[in-house]
């Protein structure tokens, strides 16, 4: 059949979600060990009979997997002369005004767009 080489064929190729050999071996080892490293660390950390220093080390090692570090956030305060919105109701009012202005602008009924903003 000339012209029928290559391309997509039904049923050909790897099935979606199928695991490769490396993943199957890894999963088998995890299943055989009956615990993930994090499970082991938590088990040692919670064992009251274990050495206190060892428990502390396991807690330190497990912490990043359970409690991610918080990111630093920059807080920006607007200058006193810049208009601000007070509460959630102000946002709702402004959103309605914007919606009306955009609707009217789309209908070519608005020539000058000046939103009303409160100074806080």
* Domain range annotation of the chain: 21-66, 74-120
Q: Residue 52: its pLDDT value, please?
A: 93
Listed in sequence order, the DSSP H helices in 1-120 are 21-33, 37-46, 52-66, 88-106
Task: Extract the tokens encoding 22.
Answer: 């490396």
Percentage of residues of the chain with pLDDT beyond 70: 75
Q: Which residues contact 85 (CB under 8 A, 6 or more apart)?
A: 91, 94, 117, 118, 120
pTM higher than the cut 0.85: no
Tell me what the mean pLDDT of segment 35-59 comes to.
89
φ and ψ at residue 115, rounded to 5 degrees: -70, 150
Banded model confidence at residue 31, pLDDT cuts 50, 70, 90:
confident
Q: Residue 47: its pLDDT value, please?
A: 92
Mean pLDDT of the chain: 77
Judged by DSSP in three states, 57 sits in: helix
């Amino acid at each position: 059949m000339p012209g029928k080489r290559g391309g997509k064929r039904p049923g050909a190729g790897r099935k979606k979600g199928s695991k490769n050999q490396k993943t199957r071996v890894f999963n088998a080892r995890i299943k055989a060990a009956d615990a993930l490293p994090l499970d082991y660390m938590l088990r040692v950390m919670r064992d009251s009979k274990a050495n206190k220093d060892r428990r502390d080390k396991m807690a330190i090692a497990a912490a990043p997997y359970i409690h991610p570090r918080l990111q630093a956030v920059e807080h920006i305060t607007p200058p006193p002369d810049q208009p601000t919105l007070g509460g959630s109701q102000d946002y709702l009012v402004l959103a309605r005004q914007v919606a009306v202005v955009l609707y009217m602008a789309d209908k070519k009924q608005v020539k000058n767009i000046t939103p009303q903003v409160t100074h806080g």
